[in-house]
Amino acid sequence: MNDYDSRREAPLDLASVFLGPKGENADVFEKLLLEAFRDHVFWRRNFHPEDGFHVTEGEKHSPDYQQAISTLSQELMGLLGELKAGVPFFSPRYIGHMTSDLTMASLIGYFATMLYNPNNVAAEASPVTTRMELEVAAQLARMIGYDPDAQWGHLTSGGTVANYEALWVARNVKYLPVAVRWAAEEMGISGLAVALPDGTQAPLDQLDLWQMLNVMPPAALDLAARFRERVGDAYRAVHALASHSLEGLGFQEFGRRLGTIYGDALPPGVVLVPSTAHYSWEKICRTLGIGGAQLVHVPVDRRFRMDPDALEATVRRMAERRQPIIACVSVIGTTEESAVDRLDLIAETRERLARELGMGFYLHADAAWGGYAAAITRGPDGARRTYTQAMRDYAPEVWPEEGVYRGLVAMERADSVTIDPHKLGFVPYPAGAISFRDRRSRDLVAVEAPYIFHRGASEWGYIGRFIMEGSKPGAAAAAVWMSHKVLPLDSRGYGRMIGATARGALVLHRRLSAGDWSPFRVVPLPVPDLNLVCFAVGHPSLGTLEETNAFVDRIYRAMSVSDARAARTLEYFVTKTELRQPEYGESAVPLVEALGFTRDDYLRVGAVAVIRCTVMDQHLASGRGKVDYVSGFSLALKRVFAEELAGTGTRE
Amino acid sequence: MNDYDSRREAPLDLASVFLGPKGENADVFEKLLLEAFRDHVFWRRNFHPEDGFHVTEGEKHSPDYQQAISTLSQELMGLLGELKAGVPFFSPRYIGHMTSDLTMASLIGYFATMLYNPNNVAAEASPVTTRMELEVAAQLARMIGYDPDAQWGHLTSGGTVANYEALWVARNVKYLPVAVRWAAEEMGISGLAVALPDGTQAPLDQLDLWQMLNVMPPAALDLAARFRERVGDAYRAVHALASHSLEGLGFQEFGRRLGTIYGDALPPGVVLVPSTAHYSWEKICRTLGIGGAQLVHVPVDRRFRMDPDALEATVRRMAERRQPIIACVSVIGTTEESAVDRLDLIAETRERLARELGMGFYLHADAAWGGYAAAITRGPDGARRTYTQAMRDYAPEVWPEEGVYRGLVAMERADSVTIDPHKLGFVPYPAGAISFRDRRSRDLVAVEAPYIFHRGASEWGYIGRFIMEGSKPGAAAAAVWMSHKVLPLDSRGYGRMIGATARGALVLHRRLSAGDWSPFRVVPLPVPDLNLVCFAVGHPSLGTLEETNAFVDRIYRAMSVSDARAARTLEYFVTKTELRQPEYGESAVPLVEALGFTRDDYLRVGAVAVIRCTVMDQHLASGRGKVDYVSGFSLALKRVFAEELAGTGTRE
């Protein structure tokens, strides 16, 4: 299963990976597309040829058939026309949202597989692509650094669902020791030992509620395994747990029992996230019944990374309040700044405080954006590269910073990691992925489907039992699988590709920082960890932060697609975000001050707006083609600044 | 927006819809595929042509480029080889899982759009396909019978997520009146009136807890709207609600407050489903924190439809216990039998008991499988057809039964409906859909994303705010949109197509019922409502139900793909299910008795196994081609029966 061994050593030509901004590789693409299609057609034709044809050539001359095909052709032409009102994500000129060109391997692989229509809910409906899904999940797990024999992972429709699933597991594992205790009592099983966060072992039935809610995730899973062993019959054990667990009883009944038995209602569990966390975490906490208010934002530092000291202070505050922490979420590549948390320091803080305070909680890495960047830490043989080795590839850029490297490597210390192939994996939607370090996690969310059966002992027979979703495209698995074939998850494949985008971002950041923008003031955020560049824009005539924010909004509107602005009329495409005070706290103050405003202004207005540039295209600063895009973008910015200040830009 | 008006009157040739079992329409498909691809390439080429080419023709001769393309080609050939270990879903011989051939319109539409890579999380990343998504959702809503101006709907990755979203809304709307009361008290707003289930109005602040938890969904939404009006400032109102709602506080804190204020912990809310409901409902209840144990199975009748009398008894039992009902889920097309609940009688029961008992709850229709069948109730102009009109189309078959027709029409009375385009819409995964009757439902699940901005008042600017998922393929929306263009949602389009599959199922059912199988005994379930046929098989030498179940399992294994049995070696493909006693209760007893066993046998064994045939192919009984598939299947069955009884079948 170690794909790394079979990798060729030759450097990869990145120019061959995409269809290209001008469709440069259209000839190859078209040839392979036709090959895939015809290959499929002849597979159909060779399956029970004795059945004959269901539409004869003669019937195709009937007026009804002709009319139906005319309708199809006409509607397709209509669709193709409509699509051209879309956005040119394929162009280096597009540095807006997290969308770009896709690898040819994934596009053709997706299409080829879609013709077969496999459904990865169960291997019986997807014998080939379910295997591919588990293969790519194992590849991602190996890149992270999980033990391939112990991990469990699969694809999802996207990072949001992957994050749902991680927190669903975290919630269930948090309350698992209580469920085991009740189930053991019911079945007359005593003497179950459990490891405490300080490393000691204790009998489960002598723990108080607080201790039970602070068992570390692996210890909780060990405890459940020990319970199952003692019960002997797996089926009975599962049912006993289900009738005492949070997921079985629901929060209301589980909470009532806690109150009755321990004389106290369950203290609301909280989820810690950096203040830069994706907005979907609030949605996830609401949906899972944890509550949006139980999402605790941990302040970030001036590089927009979760501050380990702030994390420590938060954990200590929770310990004082005896408020359980369900999970701490670290972000590897924020959606606004591409900031990579110092996950190494976060993991260390968790472990140290577990020992000191006896407080255990789940650690999840939301690497939906930045996960693929961990490819830079792997050599062609799959071994970890040192920081020096990794950095050498990108000289003369000094990238990655050592802290970023350490954050990426530390994903192996998280209990689970979300990685989106449909982001920096450059494959089509829908392709998110979730990796769990401990495959037993999935037992916490497993249900039975009556109409799907295991084939003997084949454990991958029906992965739908272990996931949040149901039906899902086998084509997505094939697309990721193909893309990993041409771009391995190491320094020569995805590592180089993502390095090229980081280089583009660094060049852009330098240009923005060093350029002469007078009379305007361009204030970039600090050097990005990966490949997002944000900057604010001021002008002496804009006397307030409100006016400045409104000006940034006008720049954004002048450089993005809308009903009033078709893509073909635009030169460059950006997006915009706001650093809002409730989440960003002090970390945005330096930016506000550099614009000439005060901390008080920021508090009053509540947010500072910035232009946001996502660099996913390898060509932004590659020097290929005839245009220097970074210079072109700078010129375009200057023109837009002037027009929007004067009010002479095209109005919407 | 009424697409029905523009529909052509000519009958549609169903033969033109799919690529075909033998790739009969490969010529048209290939032509359109190339057209779509080249059209896209030239769009790229015409976008800022001055940029030049990023890969020159000369560079393509470099060894690195050549090697990279060789790798791509080789890996694609590898993929194409692997895929042939897949399952021939395209063939009428495949009557196993719910997977089949897909419309050419959707496949080409998907591919054409995938090249543009739109992400329907926000219109800015998908200006074209977000509009298409909302268009197809509106088309589905019109087919259901929802007011187009009041409805809200969108696509999801599948029926499971659509059902999650429905129950998420149901859970939030159940506890909404309590949240409004607390928010109103905090803001000093008094005198809010709310409609009670018996039709009277009452002041919110004089209701007891039980009354607040039994407001009907539209009345709860009206109440929240009135609260927002009184607050005046929409932002303040939303925040006030969030700090008092279940989704804001979470179950633990919300329950604690209820206990403190009303002197009683919240009684666990329950979810009612027919005993035939999809297994994912348990998963959904677990995830949402409601608890698997709070899923109450309502018995079904002998046609496997939820028994309205049993529903009434269940509701009365809950009323006596003062246990709130969060939602009642009705199934339109069960995954095992394609049974269509008498939703008309269920809706009537709900309304009658609301008046009598003062007990209100949410009603959801899980029509993931059967939703598209509602097309038979619509004429070309979009108007409802009478039952007689609908039935006339399928003569000489007597299909649908009047109860099925009434169940389909009654979807308009549910608060929400799940429909899967990737099932009987014949489009690629991932394409589920959720429709809400009242668009205000979405406010209960809305969150804000900082980096996405509304364009002025455009309400569809960012649908990601209102859905469970995040990123999702715009290509899926285009695929559904294209498919609805060639197959309208009326009696001539999807109605005819699904009628053709129902006809195949009826012919198959008759053959199974009337055939001479001696010495075997073939016992089909009752005539299916839509297009699934299940049957048990017995033999005098199989003296116990256990042995009979094991025999059915062997038949299934002999007629399905596995590691040991490649698709090319099989003649026909089926799947299998078990009617398990905990869910099916008495409804499976007639089947057991017809096999020659007793009710006690069933209770002892706990389940009866049946072969399950899903008829999605229009050709099963169409008489096109050279083979009579129903006869061929019967012959194959006889052979397999004999081989498996004698133990001479191929062993795995």
ipTM of the assembly? 0.95
Q: Is the pLDDT of residue B190 over 50?
A: yes
Distance separating alpha carbons of residues B267 and B269, to the nearest angstrom: 6
List the single residue in A8, A289, A567 with the smallest CB-CB distance to B251: A289
Taking CB atoms and an 8 Å limit, are A116 and B42 in contact across chains? no
Taking CB atoms and an 8 Å limit, are A105 and B249 in contact across chains? no
* Residue B452 confidence class, pLDDT cut points 50, 70, 90: very low
Question: Is A262 tagged catalytic?
Answer: no
* Residue A55 confidence class, pLDDT cut points 50, 70, 90: confident
Distance separating alpha carbons of residues A450 and B618, to the nearest angstrom: 27
Residue to test with chain A: of B287, B481, B631, most A Cβ within 10 A: B287
pLDDT tens by residue, A587-629: 999 999 999 999 999 999 999 999 999 999 998 988 887 889 9
* Residue B453 confidence class, pLDDT cut points 50, 70, 90: very low
- Could you give the percent of chain A with pLDDT greater than 90? 80
Distance separating alpha carbons of residues A72 and B32, to the nearest angstrom: 9
Q: Which two tokens stand for residue A286?
A: 């609401």
Q: Is the pLDDT of residue A5 over 90?
A: no
Residue to test with chain B: of A56, A95, A115, most B Cβ within 10 A: A115
What is the pLDDT, as a whole number, of residue A649? 60
Taking CB atoms and an 8 Å limit, are B47 and A481 in contact across chains? no
Q: Mapping DSSP to helix (H, G, I), strand (E, B) and coil, where does residue B195 land?
A: strand
Rounded to a whole number of angstroms, the distance from the CA of A161 to the nearest CA of chain B is: 6
Q: What is the mean pLDDT of residues B552-561?
A: 94
What is the pLDDT, as a whole number, of residue B319? 95
Distance separating alpha carbons of residues A228 and A239, to the nearest angstrom: 11
* Residue B455 confidence class, pLDDT cut points 50, 70, 90: very low
Distance separating alpha carbons of residues B605 and A55, to the nearest angstrom: 48
Q: Own/partner pairs for B440-443, CB < 8 Å, 24+ apart? A: B440/B152, B440/B221, B440/B224, B440/B225, B441/B152, B441/B169, B441/B173, B441/B217, B441/B221, B441/B415, B441/B416, B442/B152, B442/B169, B442/B466, B443/B224, B443/B238
Taking CB atoms and an 8 Å limit, are B32 and A73 in contact across chains? yes
Residue to test with chain B: of A6, A79, A128, most B Cβ within 10 A: A79
* Residue A265 confidence class, pLDDT cut points 50, 70, 90: low
Distance separating alpha carbons of residues B258 and B269, to the nearest angstrom: 14
Annotated catalytic residue within B146, B279, B405, B451:
B451
What is the pLDDT, as a whole number, of residue B124? 81
Distance separating alpha carbons of residues B94 and B74, to the nearest angstrom: 31
What is the pLDDT, as a whole number, of residue A7? 43
Q: Is the pLDDT of residue B511 over 70?
A: yes
Mean pLDDT of the residues in chain A: 92
Residue to test with chain B: of A451, A552, A618, most B Cβ within 10 A: A451
Q: Are B101 and B617 in contact, with CB atoms under 8 Å apart?
A: yes
Q: What is the strand order of the sheet A270-274 is part of?
A: A152-156, A432-436, A416-419, A362-367, A325-331, A270-274, A295-298
Distance separating alpha carbons of residues A29 and A25, to the nearest angstrom: 6
Query: Does an H or E element contain B343, and which?
Result: helix B343-357
Q: What is the mean pLDDT of residues A148-161?
A: 96
Ranges of H-type helices in B411-533: 474-486, 494-514
Residue with tokens 């041409």: A486
List the single residue in B37, B52, B568 with the smallest CB-CB distance to A33: B37
Q: Mapping DSSP to helix (H, G, I), strand (E, B) and coil, where does residue B290 land?
A: coil
**Within chain A, how many helices (H) and strands (E) appear?**
22, 13
Q: What is the mean pLDDT of residues A93-103?
A: 95
List the single residue in A54, A336, A553 with the smallest CB-CB distance to B24: A54
Question: Residues near B454 by Cβ (< 8 Å), separated by ≥ 6?
Answer: B461, B462
Q: Are B167 and B285 in contact, with CB atoms under 8 Å apart?
A: yes
Provide, as residue numbers in chain A, all residues whose Cβ is less than 8 Å from the Cβ of B274.
Answer: none
Provide, as residue numbers in chain A, all residues whose Cβ is less than 8 Å from the Cβ of B323.
Answer: none
Burial code (b: 16+ CB inside 10 Å, e: under 16) for A484-495 equals bbbbbbbbbbbb
Q: What is the mean pLDDT of residues B607-634?
A: 92
Q: What is the mean pLDDT of residues B395-415?
A: 96
What is the pLDDT, as a whole number, of residue B266? 61
pLDDT tens by residue, B115-160: 999 999 888 888 899 999 999 999 999 999 999 999 999 999 999 9
Residue with tokens 């394409």: B431
Provide, as residue numbers in chain B, all residues whose Cβ is less than 8 Å from the Cβ of A561.
Answer: 124, 127
Taking CB atoms and an 8 Å limit, are B16 and A72 in contact across chains? yes
pLDDT tens by residue, B345-371: 999 999 999 999 999 999 999 999 999
Q: Is the pLDDT of residue A454 over 50?
A: no
pLDDT tens by residue, B276-317: 888 899 999 999 999 999 999 999 999 999 999 999 999 999
Distance separating alpha carbons of residues B630 and A41, to the nearest angstrom: 25
pLDDT tens by residue, A522-559: 999 999 999 999 999 999 999 999 999 999 999 999 99
Provide, as residue numbers in chain B, all residues whose Cβ is less than 8 Å from the Cβ of A29.
Answer: 37
Rounded to a whole number of angstroms, the distance from the CA of B284 to the nearest CA of chain A is: 8
Q: Which residue has the higher pLDDT, B395 or A27?
A: A27
* Sign of the Cα pseudo-torsion (A232, A233, A239, A243, in order): negative
Residue with tokens 């009710």: B599
Question: In Å, what is the CA distance from A47 to each residue of A42, B252, B590?
Answer: 9, 58, 39
Q: Are B260 and B249 in contact, with CB atoms under 8 Å apart?
A: no
Taking CB atoms and an 8 Å limit, are B251 and A251 in contact across chains? yes
Taking CB atoms and an 8 Å limit, are A80 and B626 in contact across chains? no
What is the pLDDT, as a whole number, of residue B10? 46
Provide, as residue numbers in chain A, all residues whose Cβ is less than 8 Å from the Cβ of B471.
Answer: 158-160, 420, 422, 429-430, 432
Q: Which two tokens stand for residue B105?
A: 């319109």
Q: Which residue has the higher pLDDT, B368 or A56?
A: B368
* Total number of residues shown for chain B: 652
Taking CB atoms and an 8 Å limit, are B85 and A127 in contact across chains? yes
Taking CB atoms and an 8 Å limit, are B50 and A161 in contact across chains? no
Annotated catalytic residue within A387, A451, A556, A629:
A451
Rounded to a whole number of angstroms, the distance from the CA of B95 to the nearest CA of chain A is: 12
Cis omega (within 30 of 0) for bond into B177: no
Residue to test with chain A: of B8, B429, B577, most A Cβ within 10 A: B429
List the single residue in B52, B254, B265 with the smallest CB-CB distance to A627: B52
Q: Which residue has the higher pLDDT, B279 or A632?
A: A632
Q: Is the pLDDT of residue A2 over 80?
A: no
Q: Are B559 and B574 in contact, with CB atoms under 8 Å apart?
A: yes
For B481-502, the DSSP string reads HHHHHHS-SSTTTHHHHHHHHH
List the single residue in A25, A158, A576 with the smallest CB-CB distance to B470: A158
Q: Is the pLDDT of residue A408 over 60?
A: yes
List phi, psi (to 5°) of A273.
-135, 155
Picking from B566, B459, B516, the residue whose alpha carbon sits closest to that of residue B134 is B459
Q: What is the mean pLDDT of residues B36-48?
A: 96
What is the pLDDT, as a whole number, of residue A57? 86
Chain A CA closest to residue B629: A51
List the single residue in B50, B161, B249 with the smallest CB-CB distance to A293: B249
Q: Is the pLDDT of residue A254 over 80?
A: yes
Taking CB atoms and an 8 Å limit, are B250 and A285 in contact across chains? yes
- Could you give the percent of chain B with pLDDT greater than 70? 95
Chain B CA closest to residue A612: B451
* Total number of residues shown for chain A: 652
Chain A CA closest to residue B44: A22
Q: What is the mean pLDDT of residues A62-83?
A: 93
Q: Mapping DSSP to helix (H, G, I), strand (E, B) and coil, where does residue B337 land?
A: coil
Distance separating alpha carbons of residues A138 and A125, to the nearest angstrom: 21
Question: In Å, what is the CA distance from A518 to each residue of A508, A539, B567?
Answer: 18, 8, 70
Mean pLDDT of the residues in chain B: 92
What is the pLDDT, as a whole number, of residue A10? 46
Q: How far apart are the first and last CA of chain B?
A: 55
Rounded to a whole number of angstroms, the distance from the CA of A157 to the nearest CA of chain B is: 7
What is the pLDDT, as a whole number, of residue A266? 61
pLDDT tens by residue, A423-449: 999 999 999 999 999 999 988 888 764
* Sign of the Cα pseudo-torsion (A527, A530, A531, A536, in order): negative
Q: Which residue has the higher pLDDT, B373 or A56?
A: B373
Cβ–Cβ pairs < 8 A, chains A and B:
604
Taking CB atoms and an 8 Å limit, are B287 and A15 in contact across chains? no
Picking from A428, A119, A21, A37, the residue whose alpha carbon sits closest to that of residue B114 is A428
Q: How far apart are the first and last CA of chain A?
A: 55
Distance separating alpha carbons of residues A243 and A255, to the nearest angstrom: 14
Taking CB atoms and an 8 Å limit, are A44 and B20 in contact across chains? yes
Burial class (CB in 10 A: 0-12, 13-18, 19+), B358: middle
Q: Is the pLDDT of residue A584 over 60?
A: yes
List the single residue in B243, B252, B619 with the smallest CB-CB distance to A54: B619
What is the pLDDT, as a whole number, of residue B582? 85
Q: Is the pLDDT of residue A286 over 90?
A: yes
How open is the CA angle B579-B585-B587, to the nearest 5 degrees? Answer: 75
Question: Which runs of E-coded beta strand occur in A506-599?
Answer: 521-524, 532-538, 575-580
Taking CB atoms and an 8 Å limit, are B33 and A37 in contact across chains? yes
Rounded to a whole number of angstroms, the distance from the CA of B200 to the nearest CA of chain A is: 30
Q: Mapping DSSP to helix (H, G, I), strand (E, B) and coil, where does residue A436 land?
A: strand
* Residue A259 confidence class, pLDDT cut points 50, 70, 90: confident
List the single residue in B92, B248, B453 with the smallest CB-CB distance to A292: B248
Taking CB atoms and an 8 Å limit, are A253 and B619 in contact across chains? no
Taking CB atoms and an 8 Å limit, are B86 and A481 in contact across chains? no
